[in-house]
Amino acid sequence: MKLHTAAKIDMVNSLNIPQVTVVMDVTLQSKQASRHGFVRFLPIALLCSVIVGFAQDAPPATAAVASQRDAPRRCGPSAPGRCALDIAKDQANILNGPSRIRKKDLVWIAPFVAATATALVFDRKTLDLVSTNPSRVDAYRTASNFTGVYTPLAGIGASWLTGAIRHDDYLRDTGYLAAEALVDAALSTTMFKYVANRVRPQMSGLSSASGKFWADGKSYPGGDSFPSGHAATAFAFAHVVASRYADWRLKVAVYGLATATAFARVAGREHFPSDVLAGGAIGYLVGGYVVHLHHPSPCRNRIMVSPMVSGNGLGVSLVFSKIESCGRGLKAAPRS
């Protein structure tokens, strides 16, 4: 309910005594408008809750968990049951994330909410600037499939196969961790897509329903735009590889591919900027969660993504920083 008040002063009678008239205008919002406001806020709130599951430290007794997971019967082609168990534990821990929210988490939750909300405001304006040329749109969509899906899968397979042939356990384990991160990211984003139910942009332009969450007249699920699964898998893979190896050129390469994937998903009119921002955040945190869970003292990198708005246009700022040394070249985590 909205209450508007206005005051009008009139000079009445011969004594010029001022008379104040207060006009009150009460407007009742429709249930539909209220629902739309709630629906726009709900995805951001749920996203923050789910991401807390990734950003939180690993469960207590991390070293014991890591030792148990690195036991002889670890995840791999010879132990698919172990892989399924690891993924199930990851998802359970992620879903339990909201129960572990602490006051200090507001330090990163607040900026993330602000960045996502800003991106949501400019989503449609940004897509209006993206080309609708069919050949160009198809080219970006094809490129995003290569950088966000095929390349990470090829990297995982190559890591495992090369590690097995050369008896390089570290390289092989990197493939395992990257695969686990990809599956976790895919499951989490798929779950959230059904919760958000956001309509995707169209190749030829934006419809009246494009970008809406739970749009009227759309059967469930009416959309799977929010968040971007390609961006999530790309950043999950990038974080695992960058955390395992200290070569800065490799870090630039994998994060460059992930950023290119996010850009291509918008340029290919598959997603809005807020979709890839949320998907990239989920993927990055998933990768860090998996590495930290298996190895209590991994490389500690930080990545900050924030929208940029100026008079000349819109953009995204991506800042990568390395806090402490890690990865191959120092000493691999001990195994039991």
What pLDDT, in 10s, does the model give residues 90-137?
A: 888 877 777 777 777 777 778 888 888 888 999 999 999 999 999 999
Question: Above 90 in pLDDT, residue 308?
Answer: no
User: Is this model's pTM higher than 0.85 or not?
Assistant: no
C-beta separation of 261 from 191 below 8 A: no
Instruction: Using alpha carbons, select from 56, 75, 93 the residue that is nearest to residue 177.
Output: 75
Q: Does residue 171 or residue 50 have the better pLDDT?
A: 171
- What pLDDT sits at residue 105? 74
Q: Does residue 330 or residue 301 have the better pLDDT?
A: 301
Among 27-31, 116-120, 144-148, 190-194, name the one with the lowest average pLDDT: 27-31
Three-state SS string over the chain comes to CEEEEEEEEEEECCCCEEEEEEEEEEECCCHHHHHHHHHHHHHHHHHHHHHHHHHCCCCCCHHHHHHHHCCCCCCECCEHHHHHHHHHHHHHHHHCHHHHCCHHHHHHHHHHHHHHHHHHHHHHHHHHCCCCCHHHHHHHHHHHHHHHHHHHHHHHHHHHHHHHHHCCHHHHHHHHHHHHHHHHHHHHHHHHHHHHCECCCCCCCCCCCCCCECCCCCCCCCCCCCCCHHHHHHHHHHHHHHHHECCHHHHHHHHHHHHHHHHHHHHCCCCCHHHHHHHHHHHHHHHHHHHHHHCCCCCEEEEEEEEEEECCEEEEEEEEEEEECCCECCCCCCCC
What confidence tens digit (pLDDT) does each residue in 248-274 have? 999 999 999 999 999 999 999 999 999
- What pLDDT sits at residue 107? 79
Number of Cβ within 10 Å of residue 301's Cβ equals 21
Q: Alpha-carbon distance 305 to 32, whole Å?
A: 34
CA 20 to each of CA 7, 8, 174: distance values in angstroms, whole numbers, following the listed order: 7, 6, 76
pLDDT band with cut points at 50, 70 and 90 for residue 217 = confident
Q: Alpha-carbon distance 73 to 81, whole Å?
A: 10
- What pLDDT sits at residue 330? 37
What confidence tens digit (pLDDT) does each residue in 61-89 have? 444 444 444 444 567 777 788 888 889 98
Q: Which residue has the tokens 């168990």?
A: 85
- What pLDDT sits at residue 47? 58
C-beta separation of 282 from 50 below 8 A: yes
One-letter amino acid at 16 equals: N
Over residues 203-230, mean pLDDT: 85
Question: Above 70 in pLDDT, residue 333?
Answer: no
Question: Above 80 in pLDDT, residue 12?
Answer: no
- Helical ranges in 227-272 per DSSP H: 229-244, 248-267
Q: Average per-residue pLDDT in the chain? A: 75
Question: Above 80 in pLDDT, residue 38?
Answer: no
Non-local CB neighbours of 53 within 8 Å, separated by 6+ positions: 93, 94, 95, 96, 97, 98, 100, 289
Q: Alpha-carbon distance 191 to 180, whole Å?
A: 17
Over residues 214-229, mean pLDDT: 82
